[in-house]
Structure 1
Amino acid sequence: MSQAKTPNKTVWFVTGSQALYGPETLEQVAEQSRQVVRQLADGLQAPVELVWKPVVLTADQIRRTLLDATSDDDCVGVVVWMHTFSPAKMWIAGFEVLHKPLLHLHTQANQSLPWSTIDMDFMNLNQAAHGDRELAHLAARANVARTIVVGHPTSPAVAAKVTDWARAALGWHTMRTLRLARFGDNMRFVAVTDGDKTGAQLALGMSVEQYGVNSLVDAVAEVADADAEALTAEYEELYDVAPELRRGGDRHESLVYGAKIEIALRHLLTAGGFGAFTSNFEDLGGLRQLPGLAVQRLMADGYGFGGEGDWKTSALLATMKAMTTPGGGTSFMEDYTYHFGPGPERVLGAHMLEVCPSIADGTPRIEIHPLGIGGREDPVRMVFTGRPGPGRVVCLVDLGDRFRFVANEITVVAPDESLPNLPVARAVWEPAPDLATSAEAWMLAAGSHHTVLTTDVPLAAVEHLARMAASELVVIDGGTTIRRHRADLEAGAAYHRLAAGLTGGR
């Protein structure tokens, strides 16, 4: 399944020096800086363009460049490198106006030292070893949020680290600029899907707005039968469609109605500039079906979604979709039920209908089955099983005084047996370090039952995202113990509450 194409976003590469070295040396600085950009870009596996910027020599040039980066809507982050020695007090005003993620690349143009020919001219030109340390001191003293990557730009390890950071920067840009439409409210009496939407916009940027579900109902009514029929023909080309739903089948009209929901949703989301949305089976208005197939298709194209009005998971999914490589698997998910044995303990994850086919192992099958809740006609949906592989489930929760990300490392596996009577998309996984520890740790961390499951976005990128959002991240992995986990939660709570008090945060 396709991912939505990320608009042409850029990362600026800014090199620091000073006028002290003279024009000949500065020309060499500029050329070697371009060389580093080319080498780094060759290994970058993120859908961003690395853009070289002229070498900055003065405090005013630095401030202007970083201010321009902040105001450029296409710039998602800035990489800085001190090729020679750039006195760090020149960077204070620039850091004050920079409001984009910052990566400090500690590198140099040459990979190896020319031992037999090295002289003072070479030493004067290649001073990053202490020039970067000067900048790092200032950044630490000024409490500038940043990521540091050390190594030569041709190193695969350096490229991987910069890629993880760039993917997170794309995600943070998506979250900061996201508009999310809620069709109806959240499920009644549910705590975790509720939350402070104004606080979320202040802290994380996303705008969450409510629309009456009948605005969707009206849009569905306006879809022409011919347009819906054309979309069902596309379904038949792309998926394994159950015979009764195919053209001429006795339930084909249900597939046509499902196509109308998709067309209507796409129209509303596009017209409103929305990158994510929610629905709620308790608030369907005049809809004849709970949206299932339409939601799955939209998620496959990069839209965020949360069931039962869960706007936080919807926003997180849109964010992590932006961080997902083309062809990678990232989906809305829910811990549904457990297998406690015999054999390895496992989680069976699913939802009523809405699991993204980007995680499917093979071609999804479009089927129609009754749904015991919602009180509407039988909905159409894709049915498939998630493909095996390492991954993680991530959630975003509102703790009242702050937002917290929770991530659990998992391995998606094949089910112990086929699931012939389970007519929904699903995934089975083994959580680290084991089911009992992971579940207890997740609940102690106030994790939600809705998550984003990804087999593509690495944990390092999630860690970068949480730091960019100045938010707490709780990681549950192979090294987690409940004793250490409790201590970490207590320390994290104390830190974030103290930090919020010092900065006047939420």
Structure 2
Amino acid sequence: MTQTPAQRPRIGVLGIMQELYDDMLPGITERQAEYTQRVADQLSGVAELVLDTPARSRADAERVMRRFEHEGLDGVLVVMLTYGPSLRVTRALGEARIPLALANIQPDPAVSPDWDMADMTYNQGIHGAQDTANAMVRAGVPFEVITEDWQSPEFRDRVDRWARAARTVSAWRRLRVGIFGYPMNGMGDARVDESALIRVLGPQVHVIAPGQLYRTMGDCDTESVTGLIAAEDDRFRVDEKLSVTEREDHARMQIAIERLLRHHGCDAYSTHFDALGEDGRFSRLPMAAASNLMARGYGFAGEGDVPAAALVYAGHQLAGDAHFTEMYAMDFPTDSILMSHMGEGNWRVARTDEPVELIKRPLDIGGLDDPPTVRFRIQPGPATVASLVCLGGDHFRLVVSEGEILDSQHLPALEMPYGQFRPASGVRACMDAWLRAGGTHHLVMNLGHHAAGWRLVCELAGIEFRQV
């Protein structure tokens, strides 16, 4: 089952100190453990925090990190509870397989005239952070640093942004992308070296035969089909021209796709219209299925575009409700770009003041019958688009643009999801930079401004970030 976007990241807390202070200040380990719990409580709405006993030795640190990795956590927040010599954590952090952040915090936010040597010891984590960070820099380990008052909203916000980026990177490393059939012939910006993709970022490509989809459709039970149709009746304004046959066939395709994704352990997928059209056994393309499955948290891209499908899945993990789209045309009078695709789009980004429609939609592409298609306009407001660029070998680049979805005109002839995106840098500057950076034509869009989060993803994943 795909990970739902609303799930909180699971973050381990590695509290570091040393045995030296136990003789000097009896009870200090218990005291600092309680402080760690208060920090975790402060972050309870941001992430699911997993605590362990303070790591006071090399054996402790390596045991805790092994536990966190074994439990499949999304990241580790390193907290200096006192000064701790970095050589005790050098291997544990230098060989970390999950993203790291160093929280440069201390129990008391201010130095006080009432402080004694005990208070100095409780609050001396800053020079332990320096020693530990130095070890991670020497090891070439990417990590985030968060220097804040741990009781402040800013600390929560920064940990929230890092934790979602960590979840994104960890989810990528576990991801399997299903591709039904084959990629679109001649579409170069979607091509990727599969070995480099899994080596650098983690997603694995898994081909699923169209024949398996056809057989699984035939095995769909009536109850599941009628249940999906009823759910669509409740959510969408359904076109009266859609026949029972068209809706049932679409429902079987969606159910079969999801069952196969679960069976093969795939949380993202791509279909190509020619691969299904030329197969000869399918009546229509799974347009509405793609929209519904994106709304359920799956990554998706059209035309067999594995990098874009993986990026849409990453968008779910980073910001929630990721939407697959592409740049269709420029509108210079409004300094915006018309965003759409053939008919696939996450209806969770639809305008809240208009119904989402399920329409009968003539479509010649693929040479098949009319596919039921979800149609909506995108919610106006802040938005971010991103493109994963494969530059050859182990070189990957993420091209990102922030801007806004305009409260723009109706385009009644467009029988697919659409909206107009105005880049913050303007269409001319944005597109000049986008094209120079090799930005692809298949994109992920999230509502809200998320460039800072994408930048963190790139830093943690070790790939290039380019904002345009």
TM-score higher than 0.5 here?
Answer: yes
What's 2:342 paired with?
352
Whether contact under 8 Å (2:384, 2:401) holds in the other structure is yes
What's 1:407 paired with?
400
Deviates more, 1:171-180 or 1:90-99: 90-99
Give the 3 Å change call, closer, same or farther, for CA 32–288 of structure 1 in structure 2: same
What's 2:125 paired with?
128
What's 1:195 paired with?
192
SS in 2 for 1:427: strand
What's 1:174 paired with?
171
SS in 2 for 1:386: coil
C-alpha distance in 2 between matches for 1:53 and 1:5: 27
What's 2:362 paired with?
370
Q: CA deviation at 1:135?
A: 1.8
What's 1:464 paired with?
456
With structure 1 as the length reference, what TM-score do the two structures score?
Answer: 0.87
Whether contact under 8 Å (1:33, 1:109) holds in the other structure is no
The one-letter code sitting in structure 2 at the alignment partner of 1:63 is E
What's 1:13 paired with?
13
Whether contact under 8 Å (1:404, 1:473) holds in the other structure is yes
Give the 3 Å change call, closer, same or farther, for CA 191–26 of structure 1 in structure 2: farther
What's 2:288 paired with?
293
Q: CA deviation at 1:114?
A: 3.1
C-alpha distance in 1 between matches for 2:26 and 2:215: 64
Deviates more, 1:299-308 or 1:367-376: 367-376
C-alpha distance in 2 between matches for 1:369 and 1:3: 31
Give the 3 Å change call, closer, same or farther, for CA 395–67 of structure 1 in structure 2: same
Structure 2: stretches of 5+ with no match in the other structure: none
SS in 2 for 1:315: helix
Q: CA deviation at 1:3?
A: 8.2
C-alpha distance in 1 between matches for 2:357 and 2:378: 13
What's 2:431 paired with?
439
Deviates more, 1:125-134 or 1:275-284: 125-134
Deviates more, 1:14-23 or 1:367-376: 14-23
What's 1:270 paired with?
262
C-alpha distance in 1 between matches for 2:268 and 2:25: 50
The one-letter code sitting in structure 2 at the alignment partner of 1:450 is H
C-alpha distance in 2 between matches for 1:215 and 1:108: 57
Taking only the aligned residue pairs, the percentage that are identical comes to: 26
Q: Does 1:142 align with 2:139?
A: yes
The one-letter code sitting in structure 1 at the alignment partner of 2:283 is R
Q: CA deviation at 1:359?
A: 0.8
1:310-321 maps to which residues of 2 (within 5 A)?
310-321=305-316
Q: Does 1:429 align with 2:429?
A: no
Give the 3 Å change call, closer, same or farther, for CA 45–451 of structure 1 in structure 2: farther
Whether contact under 8 Å (2:349, 2:378) holds in the other structure is yes
Q: 1:240 aligns with which of 223, 227, 237?
A: 237
1:95-134 maps to which residues of 2 (within 5 A)?
95-115=93-113, 117-134=114-131
Equivalent residues, number: 461
Deviates more, 1:139-148 or 1:441-450: 139-148
Whether contact under 8 Å (1:29, 1:125) holds in the other structure is no
For the aligned residue pairs, the C-alpha RMSD in angstroms reads: 2.0
Give the 3 Å change call, closer, same or farther, for CA 374–468 of structure 1 in structure 2: same
Q: Does 1:340 align with 2:338?
A: no
C-alpha distance in 1 between matches for 2:323 and 2:136: 37
Give the 3 Å change call, closer, same or farther, for CA 269–26 of structure 1 in structure 2: farther
